Structure 1
Amino acid sequence: MTYCDKQCGDHEFRLLNVFRLRYNIYDSLHQNEYLVTLEVSVCWESYKPCAWTTYILKNTRLPKQPRNLQNDFRVADFDFLDWTSERSIDSRNLSSLDLLRLYNDLDIESYFSNECENSTVHSDSWNSECLASISLPVLPPTTKCHLFNSCTFISCCVEVPVLQRSFNMFMNLDACNLKLTVGIEKLLFEQMLSSYQWGTKKSFWLNGILRISYQVHNLQYAKKYRLSVLLEVCMSSKKPCVQNITVLDNVDMLKEECDWRQNYTIPSFSYSDWRISKLNHYDYSEQELILHLIDETRIGLYMEQSSCPKHFVDNILLSDCPKITSIDPLDGPVRCYNNGHCSSVDCCVYDEKILTSLNVFINIDSCNDVIDGGIEKYKFSKSLLEFDWKAEHEIYLGGIYQLHFQLEELPGSNNYIISMEISICWYYEAACDYRITVLENNILAKENCDWKRPFLKPGI
C-alpha cells in the first residue's frame, strides 16, 4: 500500500447531494508525477442533469513530492507508557476498545494485512527454502521468518505483545527483475536496483513503530549479494526500541540464475484490444493512452533518459570499426553505432506506439572477460569465461522489446563472429511488429588489452 492505494482512482464527495466534487488521481510509474482531474457540479434535482459543471483540473500533471521513508509517530513525542498513564489504562492488559483507540492514534490499522495469521515455521523459527549452505541467526521467540528459494526474499512475522498482534515485515531482492522491495504489512517501497547505491544503509518505517533497516553489497565477481536486515519495534519517540531483531548480518547469498526473457505483464496481451478497452472506459488523449500503456505493461520501470533521439529517419548502422565496412539499410526503425574498438553495438529503436526511442546494446569487454547487454535499464552482465558460445541469447523487456544475439569466439584469431536481431512485439499471439536484423555473421575484433593493470581498489 502506498499513498495511492488510499487516494488514487475515482472519488466523489457530496454536500446535501447538491454540491458535488469528483476527482481522479492517476499515479504514473514512469513519470515522477500524478495525473489529476477535478470536477465541480451543482445539481438541484436528483434525476436530471446537473445545473452547472466545470473542470478545475483536467488531466493536469502534478509533480510527486520526494517520499519520506521514515515516517515518524503521528502523535508528536509519543510514548506508549505515557499514553496509557494519561488514560488510566493498564499497559500490560489493553482491552479491545483500548487497542482500537491506540491503533487510531498511531494511524496503523489501515495498513494491517493477514499475512501472519496462518504462518507456519519450524521450531527454530526459520523456514528456509534456500538450498545454499548458509548460517542463519537464532531468532527470538517472538519472531518467525521464511527464506524463499531465491535466497534473497525474506519475510518475517514479528509478534508485538503490547499491540496484541503479529506484523509482517519483508525484503525481496529480485535480481532477475532488477528490483528491491521492502514492506511492512501493506505498506511497500519499491526501488529499481539501478538507482540503489550498493552498500548504502537504508531504513523504512511504518509511522515510527515498525522499522526495517537493510544493506546490500553487490559482490559481482563472486556472483553473490551480501545482505544485512534488522527489524525494530519502537513504542516511544523518546526511548530505545523495545524489540531489535537481527535477521541477517552480512550473510552472503548466491545470485539467482535468471531467465532474461521477461513475459508480458498482461497475459495474452494485444495492443489493439487493450486500446479499445481503455477508450471504451474513458476518452483519453493520445498522450494519456501512452502513459497508461507504459505503466500497465511495466516497461516504464526500466526506461531512462537515454541519449537516443525521440525520432529519426535514417535506419542505418554507423560504424567506426574497420571490420564492418559495408552495411545495408536496416529494415526497421533502428539506428545503431559500432565503435572504433569494434567491441560494442549500441542501438536506438523507435516505437510509434509510445512515440519514443529505446536503447538496446551489447558490449564485449574482452580485457575483463565480461559481456554486457540490455534494453534500457533492464541489463545483464555475464562472464565470458562461462559464456555459452554459439547459443542464441535473448533479453526481453516486458515481452514487447526483444534482443536476440549469437556470439562465436574464433580462438585462432583475435576476432568474434556476431549476429544480432531486435524485435518489437505488441501482440502475444501474433507476429512481431518488427524483426530487424542488425548484424548477421559479422566480425568484431577483440580489444588490445593492457595486462599491466593496477588493483581494482587503489591502495589495497
Structure 2
Amino acid sequence: MAVLHLKGKEVDESIFGLISIRFKIDKAEKHFIVDLSMSVCMESQEECQFHHNFYDNRLIPIPICNSDMDFSLKDFSMKNWLKDVGHLSDESLPLSVVALLLSQLKLDRFLQDPPCKFSDSLYTSQISGWSSDCSASLTLPTLPENIVCHIPDYCTGIDCCVNIDMLRTTIHVKFLLDTCTYRLTIGIERFERVIILLDYDWGQTKHIYLGGALRIDYNIDDIKSENKFILNVQLSVCFEQTECIFKTNILKDVYIPKPLCSWNPGSLIEGYNLTDWMNDFNFVFDGDSLKDYMIDVLFRELGIAAYLQDVQCNRADAPFSGSLNGLISDCATQLDVGLIPDFMTCYISDSCKSFNCCVDVDFAKWSFNIYAYIDECTHTLSIGIEKFHLTVSLLEYIWGTEEEFSLFGVIRIRGSIVNLETERQYIVNLKISICMKSATCDEEVDLLTDARLPKSGCSGNDNFSDFSLQSYLESQGHTLQDISEQLPRKLADKLLEKLGVLAFLGENGCKNMPQYADNAISECEKFHFTTAIPDLMTCKIHSYCTAIDCCIDIPLIGRSVNVTVDLNACGYSLLITVGKFKSKTSLLNYNFGEWNTLSVVDVFRIEYNIEDLKSSKEFILSVKISVCFDSTTCVLESTVLEQAVLPQQKCEFVGNFQIPGK
C-alpha cells in the first residue's frame, strides 16, 4: 500500500542517522519507474563513506495481480475459526472478535473509515433499495433490506452500501463503467481495480475477490446495434469455502443505454506541446528519441498507454511489406490515393473498403496501427487506432457529414462518406493526423480525397458457412426444443447481434399493422391475391399496384419485421426494405425475366423476378421471402407473389427537381 501513497514522491529514510536510503516510485501503465540509492555516512558533517545508485529510472514490470484472491488463511472456515478462538455463535460477533477476524484475513487494511451509511445523501431517496440520477427507464430488481444502491446520471454504474450484521459494519462496493473509454472500475471498500474492456471477452463471467470473503461477479454483454450494455452484477460475502452468508444479484440482465460519446475525446493535456512537456519533467532527448521510461510517462500522461497493442505493427511485415510509395493495394479498382510520407505504409484490401496503415513515430519508439472498414452488408463503419476502436451504424449516419475520431487527440482520423446508391459506390474522404509533438498536429496525410469505392454486393450463405443455431444456443446454456418457441429477450438479442442483423430491426417492428382476412389485402383494383399467405405474415398491395408490403411475425426472436418490394415505374427503379435496411436498384440495366436475390446477412432473403410488359404497361412480379437462422433452420419460406400482373402507374413528368428546393 505504500506505493499507492508515495507514488512519484522522493522519500529519504534514515537508520540511526548512519544509513540513508532514498527512493522514488512512479507508476506507468505496465511498469513501475524506480529510483533507489543508499548512502553510509559515519560522520554527519563529512562526506559519506559509501554511496551507490541501485536504480536510476529503472523500469520494473508491474506483476499481474490475481483478481481471485483466496483467504489469507489456508483452507479457512469460519466455523472452525470461531471454535479455535473460543466463540461458538456466528450470528453477531463481538467487536473484538470481528477485529481479530478481519486482521487475520488481512481485510482490515482495506476498510473505509468511516464506513458507508444508509443515511448518506447518495442513498437517502431510495425506492426498493435504489436511488437514481439516471434519466433512462431501467428495469431494476428489488434489493434486500440490507443493501442500498445509487445509479449516477450517466447510468452505467452502481454505488452500493451493504450492511453485514455478523460483522457489525457496512461494506461499500462500486461498479462504474465508462463506456466512452471502455474502462471498468470495480471497488470494494478501499480496494479498487481498473479494467480495460477492450480485451474483455463480452458475455464471459469474471470476478474480483478481496481476501476470499468479499466477492463481485460480473458479466457484460455489448449490444452494439442497439447501443446498450446488458449488465449482471452479483455481490457475495463468504466465510466458508463453499457457503456464503450473503449473496444477491444487484443487477440481473439489466439493459443499460450507452451515453453519447464523442468520437474525438481530445487531448488530456491542455495546449499540449512536447517541448514544454519535456521541460516540465526535466526530460531531454537521448539522441533522436526519448528514453524508455520517458516514453512510458509520456504515454501515461497522454492517456494512451492502456490502448496500445501488445505488439506494435511493423512496416516490414505483412500486409505492409513490399509497398510502392508507401502503398500496398489488392483493390482491382485504381484509387486516387494521396502522397504517403516515408514514415507511413498503408494497405487496401481486395474489397476496396478496408484500409490499414502503420505509422512510425520514431522519437517515441512506437508504430501506431490505424484502420477503417466499411461493411456494406451490415451497414457499419469500423474505425480504430491501436486497441481503441468504434463500430457505428451507417443507418444513423448523415451521409456526407465530416466526422473526426481520435485517440485522445494524439492520432486523429477525419473523414466523410457519401452513398451513391444508383452508381453502387461510396465517395470517401479520409485524412490522418499525427499529433505526438503538439496539439496542432505536426503531420497530416490526405489519404483519400473524393475517392470512389465500388460496392461489391453481399453474397449469400457466407454468414452461415460455419454457424449452427442449435450449437450457438447450447453455448449460451439454452436447448431449443421447437423453432416456434420464443427465446428470452437477452438470448434473442445476442443471437441477432451475432448474426449481424439486429441493427436493422426495431423493437416494435410492424406489430401495429392491421390483420386481414386470409392474411392479405389488395388496395389495387386490378389485382387480387392468388397465393396463400402463411399465418406468420400479413401482406398488402398498395393502391398504386406495384408495391407489396408484408409484416412478418417471428416468434423465435419475439419481433416482427416489415418487408417491402416497391417497383417505381416512373423512376424505373426497385426499392426493397427489410426493417431499417434499404436497397435501391436501377432497372435501366436490369436483366428482366431472371431471378435475383437480396440477402440481408443471410437471415432475410428476398428472391424476385420482374418482367416489363412495355406494350401493356404492366409488370409481372414474383416474390419469395425466407427467414433463416442457419443454413438448415428456417422459420419462414414463402412465395408471396407468383407471376402477379401489376398495372404500372401513370407518370407525370413536370420537369421539377427531385431534391426539394433545388
| Class of the TM-score when normalised by the shorter of the 2 chains | 0.7 to 0.9
1:124 aligned residue = 128
2:307 aligns with one of 302, 309, 312: 302
1:378 aligned residue = 388
Alignment partners' CA distance in 2, 1:242 and 1:49: 62
Structure 2 contact 312–369 (Cα < 8 Å) conserved: yes
After superposition, what is the alpha-carbon deviation per residue over 1:122-143, rounded to whole angstroms, capped at 9, x for unaligned? 1421012333333211111111
SS of the equivalent of 1:294 reads helix
RMSD of Structure 2 on Structure 1 (CA): 3.1
Alignment partners' CA distance in 2, 1:325 and 1:215: 44
After superposition, what is the alpha-carbon deviation per residue over 1:186-213, rounded to whole angstroms, capped at 9, x for unaligned? 2222222221111211110111221111
1:42 aligned residue = 40
Between 240-249 and 317-326, the greater mean CA deviation after superposition: 317-326
2:240 aligned residue = 237
The aligned runs of 1:250-269 (5 Å cut-off) are 250-269=253-272
Alpha-carbon offset, residue 286 of structure 1: 2.1
Between 127-136 and 388-397, the greater mean CA deviation after superposition: 127-136
SS of the equivalent of 2:53 reads strand
Letter in 2 for 1:355: K
Q: Which has the larger radius of gyration?
A: 2
The aligned runs of 1:64-213 (5 Å cut-off) are 64-80=62-78, 83=81, 86-87=84-85, 92=92, 94-95=94-95, 100-113=99-112, 116-117=116-117, 118=120, 119-121=122-124, 122-213=126-217
How high is the TM-score relative to the length of structure 2? Answer: 0.62
Structure 1 contact 70–205 (Cα < 8 Å) conserved: yes
SS of the equivalent of 1:272 reads helix
Letter in 2 for 1:242: I
2:415 aligned residue = 405
Between 105-114 and 373-382, the greater mean CA deviation after superposition: 105-114
Alignment partners' CA distance in 2, 1:258 and 1:134: 20
| Structure 2: 5+ residue stretches without partners | 471-662
Structure 1 contact 308–358 (Cα < 8 Å) conserved: no
**Could you say if the C-alpha distance between residues 212 and 326 of structure 1 is closer, same or farther in structure 2, counting changes exceeding 3 Å?**
closer
2:249 aligned residue = 246
**Could you say if the C-alpha distance between residues 237 and 38 of structure 1 is closer, same or farther in structure 2, counting changes exceeding 3 Å?**
farther
**Could you say if the C-alpha distance between residues 310 and 204 of structure 1 is closer, same or farther in structure 2, counting changes exceeding 3 Å?**
farther
Letter in 2 for 1:19: I
Structure 1 contact 318–336 (Cα < 8 Å) conserved: yes
Alpha-carbon offset, residue 342 of structure 1: 0.9
Letter in 2 for 1:403: I
How high is the TM-score relative to the length of structure 1? Answer: 0.88
2:19 aligned residue = 19
Alpha-carbon offset, residue 436 of structure 1: 2.0
Alignment partners' CA distance in 2, 1:56 and 1:334: 40
**Could you say if the C-alpha distance between residues 12 and 245 of structure 1 is closer, same or farther in structure 2, counting changes exceeding 3 Å?**
farther
Between 210-219 and 71-80, the greater mean CA deviation after superposition: 71-80
Alignment partners' CA distance in 2, 1:271 and 1:163: 53
Structure 1 contact 21–38 (Cα < 8 Å) conserved: yes
Alpha-carbon offset, residue 265 of structure 1: 2.3
Alignment partners' CA distance in 1, 2:129 and 2:433: 48
Alignment partners' CA distance in 2, 1:180 and 1:314: 43
Structure 2 contact 223–229 (Cα < 8 Å) conserved: yes
Alignment partners' CA distance in 1, 2:240 and 2:275: 54
**Could you say if the C-alpha distance between residues 192 and 315 of structure 1 is closer, same or farther in structure 2, counting changes exceeding 3 Å?**
farther
1:28 aligned residue = 28
SS of the equivalent of 1:14 reads strand
1:421 aligned residue = 431
1:270 aligned residue = 273
**Could you say if the C-alpha distance between residues 190 and 3 of structure 1 is closer, same or farther in structure 2, counting changes exceeding 3 Å?**
farther
**Could you say if the C-alpha distance between residues 165 and 181 of structure 1 is closer, same or farther in structure 2, counting changes exceeding 3 Å?**
same
Query: Kindly, what percent of the aligned residue pairs are identical?
Result: 28
Alpha-carbon offset, residue 248 of structure 1: 1.1
After superposition, what is the alpha-carbon deviation per residue over 1:430-457, rounded to whole angstroms, capped at 9, x for unaligned? 6322222111111111123203445484
**Could you say if the C-alpha distance between residues 3 and 438 of structure 1 is closer, same or farther in structure 2, counting changes exceeding 3 Å?**
farther
Q: How many residues align?
A: 453
Alpha-carbon offset, residue 247 of structure 1: 0.4
SS of the equivalent of 1:55 reads strand
Alignment partners' CA distance in 1, 2:406 and 2:78: 51
Alpha-carbon offset, residue 331 of structure 1: 5.3
Structure 2 contact 328–348 (Cα < 8 Å) conserved: yes
1:447 aligned residue = 456
1:291 aligns with one of 279, 290, 296: 296
Letter in 2 for 1:65: P
SS of the equivalent of 2:469 reads coil
Alignment partners' CA distance in 2, 1:206 and 1:13: 31
Alignment partners' CA distance in 2, 1:85 and 1:111: 26
Letter in 1 for 2:224: Q
Is 2:446 aligned against 1:437? yes
Alignment partners' CA distance in 2, 1:244 and 1:227: 17
Alignment partners' CA distance in 1, 2:40 and 2:21: 9
Alignment partners' CA distance in 1, 2:372 and 2:300: 26
Alpha-carbon offset, residue 228 of structure 1: 0.9
